[in-house]
Amino acid sequence: MKKDINNVCHVLNLKHNLFSVGQLIEHGYKVLFEGASSRIHDKIPSKNLIYEIHISRNRMFLITLITTNLIQSYAQSASTPNETMVWHTIFGHLPFQSLSLLQKHSIVKGLPIFKEQNPPCESCILRKHKITSFPQSSSQSKQHLELVHTHLCGPMQKNSTGGSVYFLTFIDDFRRKIWIYFLRHKCETFAKFKEFKVEAEKQSDKYVKVLRSDGGGEYSSKEFTNFCKSQGIIMKSTSRNTPQQNGVVERKNQTIMNMARSLLKEKCMSNIVWPEALACSVYLLNSSPTTSLKMKVPQEAWSGTKLNVSHLKTFGCIAYTHIASELRNKMDDRSEKCIFTGYSETSKAYRLYNPISKKNLKETDSRDVKFLEIMERVRK
């Protein structure tokens, strides 16, 4: 007897069809197991016998199904991963327009050609909320570090694994490059600024000239102001209760937070790893287009070197890091199972997190890490 079965799931490369008895019963069919055979009867009222299956040698009930070409081709196309959606996830839920811009104008290297239409992303819908934006402003600077925007955010609701409750950002107004630091106490702001100053000035051969902040107490300490005076740095602050005057860093911090929330939501990860999500977001935003730059991403504009993004991975995916021979016995596992949480700014290395020990591992050389991304990238 011929019977059509609709609304089935098709798994690519699966060698055998799996027939669910439970779903048959839920849809009104009757399944009887008796002796060495099983019989499937049609729905009420006919109750006609549809199929009788005899038990095999390995105690399985094997049934022969014919899959039409129409169903097969439709299921295959529906099951193929959307490559644009994969890279949207890898890039920290970057807007599709920005992702398309990166590829279309070859702003970075390593991206495939995107062809698919993009459905709404649930993680973006749940974790990004559109509010009235601050007035847009173009760059006021003519060279690196001529004007630096800074802002301290926190305290966060959960302490990180390292005890941080604040994060501090610096943005170069000229190239929109972002730096992020994590703090346990507000009083660490001055030390982090000195750390940023040394790093940025060494990289650019330029000097910080103007520092713009919201005028919070962490920037107005005597130690901080005296240091800036000795270095010839002009400290500018916004008027009270007018964060719009510091709009560059306010907007960027909002973007960083939105991206970090989407990264955590996508993989259902605990908020305790918020610094890793924020640091990864900053890395991705430095690799993403911005309206302040034409056909360049901040990292390229800052360093002068075209960026290759083929090394990017999906935040929160499974990663296996190699264990050195001197740290294991002969019969021990040769790798440790972790979660991928970000990138190193200074070397070709990845940041990994062990959810069992709840410790961040040291940055691991990319050659020593194997990834198991849940959404496999589509091969050309």
- Which amino acid is residue 21, in one-letter code? V
The sign one gets for the Cα dihedral 112, 89, 287, 201 is: negative
> What is the Cβ-side half-sphere exposure of residue 186, based on CA atoms within 13 angstroms?
12
Predicted local confidence at residue 378, as pLDDT:
42
User: What CA–CA distances, in Å, run from 265 to 51, 65, 90, 269?
Assistant: 45, 39, 13, 7
Pairing of strands 335-343, 210-213: unpaired
Task: Flag whether pLDDT at 261 surpasses 90.
Answer: yes
Minimal CA–CA distance to 160: which of 314, 259, 264?
Answer: 264
| Helices 189-204, 222-231: inter-axial angle, 10-degree rounding | 20
Mean pLDDT of 45-52: 76
Position 65 pLDDT exceeds 90? no
The model's pTM: 0.71
Q: Tokens 């005597």 correspond to what residue? A: 222
Q: Could you tell me the pLDDT band of residue 134, with boundaries at 50, 70 and 90?
A: very low
CB atoms within 10 A of CB 54: 10
Spatial distance between the Cα atoms of 53 and 65, rounded to a whole number of angstroms: 12
Q: HSE (CB half, 13 Å, CA atoms) of 195?
A: 13
Ranked by mean pLDDT, the top range of 5-14, 119-128, 273-282 is 273-282
What is residue 267's three-state secondary structure? coil
**Ranges assigned E (strand) in 47-104:** 49-54
pLDDT at 41 over 50: yes
Residues contacting residue 320 through CB under 8 Å, at least 6 positions apart: 335, 336, 337, 338, 369, 370, 371, 372
C-alpha dihedral, 364 to 368 to 374 to 380, nearest 10°: 120
What pLDDT, on a 0 to 100 scale, did the predictor assign at position 77? 39
Closest CA to 192 of 214, 211, 176, 209: 211
